[in-house]
A and B are shown apart, each in its own frame.
Chain A
Amino acid sequence: MTYPLTVDFRDGFYNDTIVVVVDEVEVYRQENVTTRTMTGLAGSTEILLDSGKHMLRINLSEKEVSTSISIDINSPLYLGLEYIPQKGLENKLQGEPFKYM
């Protein structure tokens, strides 16, 4: 059984190259990702994953920043990623879509 993991790239991105690796396989790469300040959203991608545990790694190559997140997916999940200069990549995982205005 597969479930979608929606990854939202939110505040703090500017001309970044974002690479998402799931279980050591690159599943997403996007260059020039920049947050639109009027919504706080830079971009989004959906990844289909088999139910169960997975290890995600998100790299920002220009900023030389990465973070690893362990998830256990058994229903659609939504991952919000935010870059904070002093803290690095922060994430928030939830069961409902993120909202923007």
Chain B
Amino acid sequence: MSDDFIIDDENLDLLEEELDEDELSIDTVGLPRPFPILPRKLSASGLYKASNRLIKLPIKSKFAEQSSDEFENEIGFVPGKKLPWGFLKEDLRLDVDGRYPQMQASGTIRTNFFTSVDWIARLKATRSPNTWIGNIWFKDGPANAMRHTRVRIKVKRSWFPHQRQLIAKFYGGGAPTRVRHFNFKSAYFHPVEFEYDRVSDVPAADATTSVATCAHPNRPATIACENLSLETVYRRAGFNVKKSGGDSSIPVDDAGANTTWSDAEMHDAMQAYWSRFANKAQWSMWVMFARQHDNGNGLGGVMFDDIGPNHRQGTAIFSDSFISQAPAGDANPAAWVDRMRFWTAAHEMGHGFNLAHSWQKSLGAPYGSPWLPALADEPEARSFMNYPYNVSGGETSFFSDFEYRFSDNELVFMRHAPSRFVQMGNADWFDNHGFEQSIPDQSSVFNLELRTNKANSVFEFLEMINLELKLTNISGQTRLIENAVLQEYENMTIVIKRDGMPARQWLPFAHYCRNKNMSAIDHGQSLYDSILLSAGKNGWDIAEPGNYTVQAMMTIDDEIIMSNALKLRVGTPRTDNEEICAQDLFNKDVGQVLTYGGSQYLAKANHALEEVIVRLPNSNAARHAQIALALPKLRNFKSLNITADAPDLFTALENKKAAIGVTKSDSAVKKTLDTLLVKEGNAAAETLGHICYKQHMDTYSKYLADSDTAAAAKTQQTCKKTLMARNVPEWVFANDAYAGGSASAKGGKKKTEKA
């Protein structure tokens, strides 16, 4: 941040005292309206992104009241857990000048990839230059996620975009004041991409994507005469419009006499011919120029895509319809047709942005819901979203005032509503609801895959879930990476979301401090690890029956790596015994015992596991429980024994009434593990996962090798046979210590593979 800007911050402190609530009142003297259109280089409007650094302010500045870190804790949904560096993202859209300024600011604060908070504030200019202040009138996100009610924004303008900066101060609502620093990113609020495909029976000249605004004599006297494109219309609405570059022709020869289009046929064509088609939310739209809809001449165009899971991706314009038939006696029929085709294309594309017709703005259930509860209809609006012939005075009246734009309310929606309401393929048509959030750009260096080794990832009620992580180098070159990177939870965040419930962050029971041993990983090679996902420091994150989504994000060398979103299903209890066991099993101590492979100290937890074994002997939960109880007995188990009369540990140590004792290994568990891991190896691998099963088999082999190397070798051979039957590659077993009768490779297992 430059010094002069810091000085401005000091001034902000003073200005704060000059400003009061009156500045938000209607009587306040603001800047003249409408605003002059500033050269883009000097305008303040656009998209800003927060930098992660804290603002260093002069001593005693009010801005120093609270750091960003404190705020992140406030909205972080994970009490006491600091979000990983770079994990919290924040955007701010300032809309105070440029084309059609709406005097609004809006922002998105992303706390994790499931949870974000959106806010919008209506702004008034203050007496201080480049400074605006306003009430936050819209919030969308978890309740109480953002309590601030007002925002104050100061901008540093510059001819050079990278020097443009913004400081936003959030306050009011009883929340501690929060200050955030943003860097200018774009003069536009969102990106969007269009592709125009034309059916082969539509002449190129009929696929209108631009219009001469003064060609028809019935127009506003003051309108600028220009050749206006659809891209420019949407750029003026605030979007950074690009063409996909995939414009093409759709052959219709094979259709025979049936050359009209149904909605389903258009949807199929979109999937086949749109170069960007994907079943996901994306800022991308397909525009199809066709001859006629099955409905006939009376349908000029349609946003046909309310089919399937991702709505609003495709629109169609019909050249052989009333939009190509100028009224009798029109002063310039050719210009009328051009304008009507252009208008229709912009109109249908507007539906793709989830804009309703002007007279439907307030329409809610049962069709959907307006994004604001008190949204008013605009039946007389001179907007792309109104029907020209529906206004008073009809089409002639409409076009005499039409300036090729959207209404102010529509611009506020497109620019500032939560992006999932607007983005194509996200919220359903006419509905502002949507779970899917935009995902940060995928890393091009590493790929992180989450998986279980269970068919369909369906788990029994009470069954513990082991999540496997696979990190693959996809950079095309050898990379140095820390061996234990998948165990470094400081750099990784795993989020679990049960359908219909808020997301929860999985927190490990412990963080380890390790030497940073680095390994060279070739392109295509992977690192693997496994964690008990069901439970963590939060308790049991996965317990209730239902559908869950799990996703992980990690940072390696400042590169953000996002995993796939893994879907899991937990079944419902089938017996009373399952419900009885659940009461004691879903306890934090039990999670700890399972995570660490057993305990001889947490007696209550061990008892809960024993109950599961007795009451549910054939369940997968019992399999986990038996293994957790058996593993500690494979070795001499050290524990601190305190004499009964010692009041506490410290007194006991001081009075030498505490001593380390050893519980000898118990050979009786051999029979249990033989059954669970060897005889029923496939079932164990299914519920434990391959990585965890292999670890347990290695542990068991090591125990056996102390007295019987042949038995150890046989166990490892069984492990290999079991896992290879489940499509695990042979190289995984290359360093097995006992399988080949050689101990030289002991401990040398390398968790890598060639792709």
Contacts and interface: CB of A to CB of B under 8 A. Distances in A.
Interface size class of B (residues with CB under 8 A): 20 to 34
Contacts of A15: 366
Contact of A37 (B299, B323, B347, B360): B360
B208 interface: no
Nearest to A15: B366
A78 to B, nearest CB: 9
A88 B387 CA distance: 22
B300 A101 contact: yes
A56 B10 CA distance: 75
Interface stretch (B301-309, B470-478, B534-542, B586-594): B301-309
B302 A101 contact: yes
Given A35-B367, A37-B430, A99 B306 contact: no
Interface string A1-44: 00000000001001100000000000000000001111111001
Interface in B307-340: 322-323
A97 B389 CA distance: 12
A37 B429 contact: yes
Contacts of B303: 38
A40 B357 contact: yes
A39 B356 CA distance: 10
Contacts of B323: 101
Given A35-B367, A40-B360, A99 B322 contact: yes
B701 interface: no
A11 B299 contact: no
Nearest to B296: A97
B297 interface: yes
Nearest to A38: B303
Interface residues of A, number: 16
Contacts of B298: 97-100
Contacts of B367: 14, 35, 37
B368 interface: yes
Contacts of B347: 101
B351 A100 contact: no
A37 B302 contact: no
B344 interface: yes
Interface in A79-101: 97-101
A101 B299 contact: yes
Given A37-B360, A38-B303, A39-B299, A101 B368 contact: no
B358 to A, nearest CB: 11
Contacts of B652: none
Contact of B389 (A36, A41, A99): A99
A38 B303 CA distance: 6
A37 B363 contact: yes
A39 B298 CA distance: 11
Given A11-B360, A37-B367, A38-B306, A100 B429 contact: no
A91 B460 CA distance: 59
A100 B295 CA distance: 10
B429 A38 contact: yes
A38 B297 contact: no
Contact of B348 (A36, A97, A101): A101
A21 to B, nearest CB: 25
A90 B91 CA distance: 46
Given A38-B306, A98-B298, A101-B301, A14 B366 contact: yes
Contacts of A38: 302-304, 306, 351, 429-430
Nearest to A44: B295
A40 B590 CA distance: 58
Contacts of A97: 297-298, 322
A99 to B, nearest CB: 5
A97 B301 CA distance: 15
Nearest to A96: B322
Contacts of B359: 11
A97 B295 CA distance: 12
Contacts of A101: 299-302, 323, 344, 347-348, 387
Contacts of B344: 101
A100 B299 CA distance: 5
A30 to B, nearest CB: 16
A100 B357 CA distance: 11
In the complex, which of the residues B298, B299, B347, B366 has the most CB atoms of chain A within 10 Å of its own CB atom?
A: B298
A9 B518 CA distance: 70
Contact of A99 (B348, B356, B366, B387): B387
Interface in A43-101: 44, 97-101
B300 A99 contact: yes
Given A36-B306, A97-B322, A100-B300, 7 more contacts: A15-B366, A37-B367, A38-B302, A100-B298, A101-B323, A101-B344, A101-B387
16 contacts: A14-B367, A15-B366, A36-B306, A37-B429, A38-B302, A39-B299, A40-B360, A97-B297, A98-B298, A99-B322, A99-B387, A99-B389, A100-B302, A101-B300, A101-B302, A101-B323
Top 4 A-B pairs, shortest CB-CB distance: A101-B300, A97-B298, A38-B303, A101-B301
